[in-house]
Amino acid sequence: MSPNLSDLPTAHWAQGQNLKMVPAPKPLPPRGAGPGGTSPHDGALQHEEGPRLPVDSKTKFGGIGASGYIPPDPNIAVGKTANGVGYIVQMVNSQIAVFNKSGALLSGPTSLSSLWTPLGGACAGSNAGDPVVQYDVAADRWLVTQLGSTSGPTYSECIAVSATNDPRGSYNLYKYDFGGSLNDYPKFGVWPTATNSAYLASYNMFANGQTFTGAQLCAYDRMAMINHGSSPAAVCFTVSNDGNFLPADLDGATPPADGTPGYFLNFEPTSSLRLYQLSPNFPLPPTPQPEL
């Protein structure tokens, strides 16, 4: 369990300090022809700028500025508060801050690694980047993640789930190991079914941080993480020699029907779609066999 986020030291980066380069997501090998054997050229790929969209301007305010790391990997999530004003949680590679919808800074910016200090290890010792923040509307909780390492020799994902609906409070802290394979380009989604709910995640995997081997599609035991369970289970499925998957994420107030598997979307080079599904059942049997 972390201290309250609002009690952690404010992170500062001054002009003139050396910038730290965070490795960009590693490129994947080019794909071959799709299932129909047609050309791998993506006919849906946009080659020119589209028309400008009308924007209804609302409140504008400055977020986290330079954090000392490039690229910045900005990420944001918006949630509600008891009085209806709403929280905005922003992450910029190595830092996290909480605002309200009027633009007032409520907490931070705080170094992301300091959130995992009680957990120790790589999560507390490095700001490895690729941050993701998600608001779990069904549970009124916040999910914050980042890579444990980009330089090895072992790799992991650092996950924090807020103990209350206030993102300025304390977080339940977890680390999931991937051994000698870099879990690059993480993406997260919230899948709040009644009995098999999960936080879904996808990763591009690189053996020894160098050689692309495929994707990991994972489901983490959402209720155990919310309730601060001991070592909440994770179910992961390997998709060899393919990557850049996106996990399903709830939009709106209606949850998926109970028992609905978590979906992962993957684009074929012929602009067709492939849909994978992962059906975790928590708690897991001794030798879990995820369905695909």
Residue 286: pLDDT above 50? no
Residue with token string 């790589």 = 122
Answer yes or no: are the C-beta atoms of 181 and 211 closer than 8 Å: no
For residue 146, give every residue at least 6 positions away whose Cβ sits within 8 Å of its Cβ, in sequence order, or none.
Answer: 91, 112, 123, 127, 128, 129, 130, 131, 132, 157, 158
Q: Which helix (H) or strand (E) holds 225?
A: helix 222-226
**Residue at token pair 């779609």:** 273
Compute the mean pLDDT over every residue in the chain, rounded to the nearest whole number. 84
60 contacts: CB under 8 Å, gap ≥ 6: 103
pLDDT for res 284: 57
pLDDT in tens, 181-225: 999 999 999 999 988 899 999 999 999 989 999 999 999 999 999
Are the beta carbons of 95 and 11 closer than 8 angstroms? Answer: yes
- First-to-final CA distance of the chain: 34
Torsion of CA 247, 253, 254, 258, to 10 degrees: 60
Q: How high is the pLDDT of residue 271?
A: 46
pLDDT band at 32 (very low <50, low <70, confident <90, very high): low
Structure tokens at 101: 């919808």
Pairwise pLDDT comparison (276 vs 113), residue with the higher score: 113
pLDDT at 105 over 50: yes
pLDDT of residue 288: 39
Integer angstrom CA distances of residue 105 from 9, 56, 96 = 15, 23, 11
pLDDT the model gives residue 82: 66
Q: Which of 139-148, 169-178, 260-269 has the lowest mean pLDDT?
A: 260-269
How confident is the model over 50-80, as pLDDT tens digits?
A: 888 887 777 788 888 877 777 888 899 999 8
Percent of the chain with pLDDT over 90: 48
Q: Which residues contact 138 (CB under 8 A, 6 or more apart)?
A: 190, 192, 250, 255
Residue 18 burial (CB count, 10 A):
6
Task: Give the span between the Cα atoms of 118 and 33, in whole angstroms.
Answer: 48
Q: For 89-142, give the DSSP string.
A: EEEETTEEEEEETT--EEEEEEEHHHHTTTT-HHHHH------EEEEETTTTEE
